[in-house]
Chain A
Amino acid sequence: MILFFAYIGVAWNILGGYAGQFSFGHAAFFGLGAYTSTLLHLHYGVSPWIGMLLGGLAGVLLGLLSGFLSFRYGLRGPYFALVMLAFAEMLRLSFETWMSKSHPLGLPIPLKGTSLLDFQFKDKGRYFSIVLVMLIAATFLCHRRVRSKIGAYWMAIRDNEDAAEALGVNAFAYKLLAMAISASLTAMGGTFYAQYFLTLEVNDVFGVQISVEILLSAIIGGAGTVFGPLVGAVALQLLAEVTRVYIRAFSGFDLMVYGCVLILVIIFLPQGLLAGLRRPYRALARALST
């Protein structure tokens, strides 16, 4: 699960960290990916692997639509974040209405065995391998982009959109591109999530808490860095596990501690854990070299 949240964080980071478009509604893409593959699988027997790709495609389309609407009207910063939240909520409510008739207790994915083709495994290690591959691929993709023209343009837009425009950057097009890539990766993550739990509930994949969890690992680790989402996911999931296991005296107390640690990180390391780790590391390197 750590790797999974790292992967989703990488996907969010492309749009939120590099291109600087802070999305508060990535659950829209996440849920869309999960439902696309699952519904296709249930009703048409489409392999979840193909469903994953189609879900990614659906994510691209939704990303382009929501991106077109918000960027076309020049929505920036908090306004963009809120519109994305609205998109996610719209989808959540639509799916809830739709699903409450047919599957009020959630959408179960029938067990078919453990073949690779069905994307179902008894052995959780298999899931681990798959998400590891997804994470490495996404991180590699991200790393390649950073030094390229696309990455340079994204970061220019993030820092100063008007100045970027004056240097020939079509900010609208590059923001849409970031949106499309980020949305498709997130949607593919949604498919993985559905196959991992083999049951699908609207609020689990479209809910606000998913949107928050998606962006949290990237932000805590360090938005706009290649390995930030990984560091953030490791730290957050470990923290969640530790507080849950060791602090059981009062129910809910673990969540309070979890929240307090989050606040401390945000206050003292606003650039993320990675930036916080980098400072002492650089000081050490300097001390060693002299």
Chain B
Amino acid sequence: MTPALLALSEVSRSFGGVRAVSALSFAVAEGEIVGLIGPNGSGKTTVFNLISGVFLPNDGTLTFAGERLVGRKPHQTCRLGIGRTFQIVQPFNSLTVLDNVRVGAFRTIGNPRRATREAEAVLDLVGLAHKRDAQPPSLTIADRKRLELARALATRPRLLLLDEVMAGLRPAETLEMIELARRIHASGVTLLVIEHVMRAVMSLSHRVVVLHHGEKIAEGTPQDVSRDPEVIRAYLGEEYRPA
């Protein structure tokens, strides 16, 4: 196996008396799509916040491309090549769609005109080019999720953390989003995906890590994981039957 792009080793984080993440270890190899699933409150988003530097872990180490992540701030982890979206979309509401994406593009491009071109190219990719002059509050949920994705993508990440980009979408929109994630992956970006929409994450991911109460209870291919009795008990429920 190729050396891991992202590796978590025995990472723990508590909030007050609650252990949100407990001795968690897993790795993501370059070029993979890894799904991170688990019931509500199982610590998925906390894992993202630990990776991107919003929170410091109480214990354990995180490395990205050989660099230690612990102690780096969000803007520094972004510069290392980690892009992320937020579960609750966080657009810059007073800026146009294009200007939102330009902020991301400026990470690698200093020239304003070239940054604009880069932002336009990213908007084309995610299918938002026709909304470039709109203000985020006027967008549909699906378009806001696309904008969130476009902005992160414009920073040209090596690893993209997607936090529930499909939540709240209609089935057709979900399919488009899966298609989009595949295209982004095909362009050479490694993906770590938090997702509640089971069908989406199962069809998209090469590998799945399952969290429950902050602990890893299973890891493997979507097929294996969805047959794992402990996972079914903790999360999927009896009615879920793999196709």
Which residues in A have some Cβ–Cβ distance to B below 8 Å? Answer: 147-149, 152-153, 155-156, 158-160, 162-171, 224
Q: Which of B21-29, B106-114, B177-185 contacts A (4 or more CB under 8 A)?
A: B106-114
Does B79 lie at the interface of the complex (its beta carbon under 8 Å from any beta carbon of A)? yes
A149 in contact with B112 given A167-B103, A168-B155 (CB within 8 Å): yes
The answer to whether B152 and A166 have CB atoms under 8 Å apart is yes
Residues of B near A147 (CB, < 8 A) are 112
CB<8 Å pairs between A and B, sample of 7: A149-B112, A152-B99, A155-B95, A162-B90, A166-B90, A168-B104, A168-B107
Complex Cα–Cα for A162 and B75 (A): 9
Closest 7 CB pairs of A and B: A159-B92, A168-B78, A163-B90, A168-B107, A165-B74, A149-B106, A156-B103
Complex Cα–Cα for A166 and B79 (A): 9
Residues of B near A159 (CB, < 8 A) are 91-95
Known: A160-B93, A168-B78, A168-B107. 20 other contacts (CB 8 A): A148-B112, A149-B112, A152-B99, A155-B92, A156-B92, A158-B94, A159-B91, A160-B90, A162-B74, A163-B86, A163-B91, A165-B78, A166-B86, A167-B78, A167-B83, A167-B104, A167-B152, A168-B155, A169-B103, A171-B75
Does B73 lie at the interface of the complex (its beta carbon under 8 Å from any beta carbon of A)? yes
Complex Cα–Cα for A169 and B75 (A): 5
A153 in contact with B106 given A167-B152, A169-B75 (CB within 8 Å): yes
Complex Cα–Cα for A149 and B103 (A): 7
Residues of B near A167 (CB, < 8 A) are 75, 78, 83, 103-104, 107, 151-152, 154-155
* Tally of B interface residues using CB under 8 Å: 29
Residues of A near B115 (CB, < 8 A) are 149, 152
Interface string of B70-102 (1 = CB under 8 A from A): 000111001100011010001111110001001
Which B126-181 residues have C-beta < 8 A from chain A? 151-152, 154-155
Residues of A near B102 (CB, < 8 A) are 152
Residues of B near A149 (CB, < 8 A) are 106, 110, 112, 115
A164 to chain B, nearest CB (A): 7
Does B52 lie at the interface of the complex (its beta carbon under 8 Å from any beta carbon of A)? yes
Residues of A near B107 (CB, < 8 A) are 167-168
**Complex: chain B residue closest to A147, CB-CB:** B112
**Complex: chain B residue closest to A163, CB-CB:** B90
B77 to chain A, nearest CB (A): 9
Residues of B near A224 (CB, < 8 A) are 94
The answer to whether A160 and B110 have CB atoms under 8 Å apart is no
Complex Cα–Cα for A202 and B103 (A): 42
**Complex: chain B residue closest to A165, CB-CB:** B74
**Complex: chain B residue closest to A148, CB-CB:** B112
Which residues in B have some Cβ–Cβ distance to A below 8 Å? Answer: 52, 54, 73-75, 78-79, 83-84, 86, 90-95, 99, 102-104, 106-107, 110, 112, 115, 151-152, 154-155
**Complex: chain B residue closest to A171, CB-CB:** B75
Complex Cα–Cα for A159 and B104 (A): 14
Contact residue among B54, B83, B95, B110 (Cβ-Cβ distance under 8 Å from A156): B95
B23 to chain A, nearest CB (A): 26
The answer to whether A163 and B75 have CB atoms under 8 Å apart is no
Most buried by B among A158, A166, A169: A166
Residues of B near A158 (CB, < 8 A) are 94
Complex Cα–Cα for A275 and B106 (A): 28
Complex Cα–Cα for A155 and B151 (A): 15
The answer to whether A165 and B86 have CB atoms under 8 Å apart is no
**Complex: chain B residue closest to A167, CB-CB:** B104
A168 in contact with B79 given A147-B112, A149-B112 (CB within 8 Å): yes
Complex Cα–Cα for A152 and B118 (A): 15
Contact residue among B74, B83, B91, B99 (Cβ-Cβ distance under 8 Å from A160): B91
Residues of A near B92 (CB, < 8 A) are 155-156, 159-160, 163-164
The answer to whether B103 and A166 have CB atoms under 8 Å apart is no
Residues of A near B151 (CB, < 8 A) are 163, 167
The answer to whether B106 and A165 have CB atoms under 8 Å apart is no
Complex Cα–Cα for A224 and B93 (A): 13
Residues of A near B91 (CB, < 8 A) are 159-160, 163
Contact residue among B52, B94, B106 (Cβ-Cβ distance under 8 Å from A166): B52
**Complex: chain A residue closest to B115, CB-CB:** A149
